Amino acid sequence: MNTKSYLIFNLHDIQYGIEVNLVKEIFLLPELIPITEAPTDIIGILNLREKLLPVMHLDLRLGNPLTRCQISDSIIVLDYDNLQIGVIVTAVHEVQEISSDMMEKDIDYGRSKGINPLFMLGIAKIDGNAIILLNPEALIREPNQVKNLSEASDNKKIINSFYDLCCPNATLKERSIFRRRAEYIQQPILENITEKTEEIILAIVSLNGEYFGLDLQTVREFINIGDLTRIPCCPEHILGNINLRGEIVTLVNLRTCLNLPTNSEKTISKAVVVEVDDLVAALPIDQVFDVMYLPQKNINPVPIAIESGKQNYVLGTASYAQKIFSILDLSKIFLQGNLEVNEAA
């Protein structure tokens, strides 16, 4: 039985997988340099450590309309047949082992024409979920199928800038984040390992207008919350359960132990899924801004004036986008913050 490892990711609400040995790196979407003389699905290029990387939008490659890019979108860099290319996706998840007996290849759509199976190796069925496994050779090498020359010409005309094409409604703050990301990934990787280990990687999120940093090693993924099942007779920090691809995850409100006001009427739409000491939970957030490398020397001690409810759970503070953020100690929050997750109703 043939088994391979696949990186699982989302394009909107559909899950896809691609062989993990083709994945070179993953990072949040930066500002791209638009180009006109390129296939219609290549929406720009990126200066990735002094090497130009073409970037494909998976929507366009699969023949879908181009939807607005989000600040939380990611680029997966693939290396296939000595060619590197970036692919824009909505969210990146875990790596899964998929065996041949979990795949269905010969799918009858009930039509003899009009189906293009080139981009699909098959569909894997895992825990009741269908994952479309992509064919990397077709994805990267197959020529574009343009219906007519006028259509191709029209598509090229709209590429005036990265924002005009992908993020027409991006705020000034979001544009600044996209630009800083592009500037950061231009820099060559540090050769000095000692210097590299003196950095920590943080996800920058916001709650009630305040910025917080979460150790990326604890972060499994960022999600949009769909159906939330409320649990009666639970502590106020337990907001309910969500079904995350077959896994039941508890939604835990950090605001209670951080002394932040809780607006019960506000719709909960975004969360970050964390795993701390074998405990998995989803934490509601207002927004995810960035993933950043922070040198240890740039971390400041916890100010004496910080609110007493937060002091015990903050490792230090640092600056981001001209704002000060607190680096949270999630392990201490769950162990000492009275945020019991597995408490019975």
Q: Could you tell me which residue, 146 or 277, shows the higher pLDDT? A: 277
How does pLDDT run across 229-252, given as a tens digit for each residue?
887 777 778 888 888 877 888 888
Q: Could you tell me which residue, 230 or 45, shows the higher pLDDT? A: 45
d(CA 192, CA 169): 40
Q: 3.50.50.60, 2.40.50.180, 2.30.30.280, 3.30.1330.60: which CATH number matches 3-170?
A: 2.40.50.180
**What are the boundaries of each domain within the chain?**
3-170, 193-336
Q: What is the pLDDT of residue 189?
A: 52
This model's pTM is above 0.85: no
Beta strands 51-57 and 83-89 are parallel
How does pLDDT run across 258-301, given as a tens digit for each residue?
888 876 556 678 889 999 888 899 999 998 888 888 888 888 88
Residues 287 and 23: beta-carbon distance below 8 Å: no
d(CA 276, CA 341): 12
Fold equal for 3-170 and 193-336: yes
Class of domain 193-336: mainly beta
